Structure 1
């Protein structure tokens, strides 16, 4: 079940925006970034700066106005099964059980693999709820089901758009640990957006700090911490303070 080859991703001179009625809204301004295979890269920046837009471009859900995105050297022009997105809302179909929600992509492709479905449900700790309906799940369980659906076909790149943002604090901590564990076990590349600096430090191998819209890269921070991290690690605390300063926040509180 382990993915033997993670995917590398490159944003090359990306600019993007939208036309709203009679005016142009620039969102991304000349962003170049390489994500190495097997990295866990987290994008941090102010609300509305274009972080989620960068993820949609990486997934091939939109095409940039200028520049190009490459996945393992191949131009990204559309979604692909090796680049999977997990959104903030689990978006489980209420008429399908957990097992059938996890199997959705395989049902669409006509290539159902019951062993892979069962193994992925086990990996996220939902064996006892495999036949439950979405309305019978807690918020954390629903996100686990969405994570299983994202992982069942062994993507080489997992794109995470604030997937834990609506969870309570304790469930969020648990899910952070689960995502880190699955990233290590499955050996995929991860690209994630979050507004939580501590969450970024717990998960990332590298953090990209973005400016306000139209966004550009302010700085890149390599997170030189062990895989199993403690939130009270002095180095993590210092990194958190440094990131907040780079984002323009007062840390004297």
Structure 2
């Protein structure tokens, strides 16, 4: 597949709220964050603090109540195929084969005809070429999530937004897919923004980890993870960083 241009993301003083029957519920408060081209950044914070909302804003699915989000210097005002959001649930169409699920976005954009090879390439990237004619109910949870990743990668995204994509998988499948996501990021060359509740997952995948407060989310701390891949959870530096991150999250450990 083509190597996409890597997007830089600049989140400037972004605040956001939900309207609950005329009453605003603040979810983000004055968030400032720069993500460099090709960087892999993980967002950690309490459940419901606003991390997933921030991903939706970066994807262009919603507009922030205040502040600006820029992609390579241009304001994000709508969704774009260069910025793809992968959800916790694979959300595959059960009546379509794996191949047609991966092709669905290209088909909707009217560009499938001359880009059928990209579907095969995306399936190959996630090692699902042999399952192109299978249906979602014939896939394991991990395979379904790989199909969802292929559906994102078929667009050659410059920015991949990952909203707890491994959160519902069993631990062994999760460990395998963590390795696969890092390998994809290194091979394809996109910028990555990951929401996770798993501190170890963030340490194994990300080059930088940003810790958010309770809702409304504000950035409390940021940590650089300057370790080569593949990483090992028992690495002394990662164990030390884990303690610091848990402390920033308000979870003191002995």
2:166 to 160, 164, 167: 164
> Which residue does 2:238 correspond to in 1?
236
Residues 2 and 187, structure 1, Cα contact 8 Å, conserved in 2:
no
1:90 aligned counterpart, secondary structure = coil
2:94 aligned counterpart, secondary structure = coil
Residues 4 and 156, structure 2, Cα contact 8 Å, conserved in 1:
no
> Any residues of structure 2 matched to 1:1-253 within 5 Å, and which?
1-112=1-112, 113-252=115-254
Q: How much is the aligned-residue C-alpha RMSD, in angstroms?
A: 0.8
Question: Structure 1 pair 174/21, CA: closer, same or farther in 2 (3 Å)?
Answer: same
- Per the normalisation by structure 2, the TM-score is 0.98
Residues 4 and 157, structure 2, Cα contact 8 Å, conserved in 1:
no
- Per the normalisation by structure 1, the TM-score is 0.98
Name which of structure 1's ranges 50-59 and 16-25 shifts more when overlaid on structure 2: 16-25
Residues 58 and 69, structure 1, Cα contact 8 Å, conserved in 2:
yes
Residues 12 and 32, structure 2, Cα contact 8 Å, conserved in 1:
yes
Shift, 1:23, TM fit: 2.1
Residues 102 and 154, structure 2, Cα contact 8 Å, conserved in 1:
yes
| 4+ residue runs over 6 A deviation | none
- Corresponding residue pairs, total: 252
Distance in 2 (alpha carbons) for counterparts of 1:33 and 1:210? 11
Distance in 1 (alpha carbons) for counterparts of 2:134 and 2:214? 42
Q: Where does structure 2 lack aligned partners over 5 or more consecutive residues?
A: none
Shift, 1:101, TM fit: 0.3
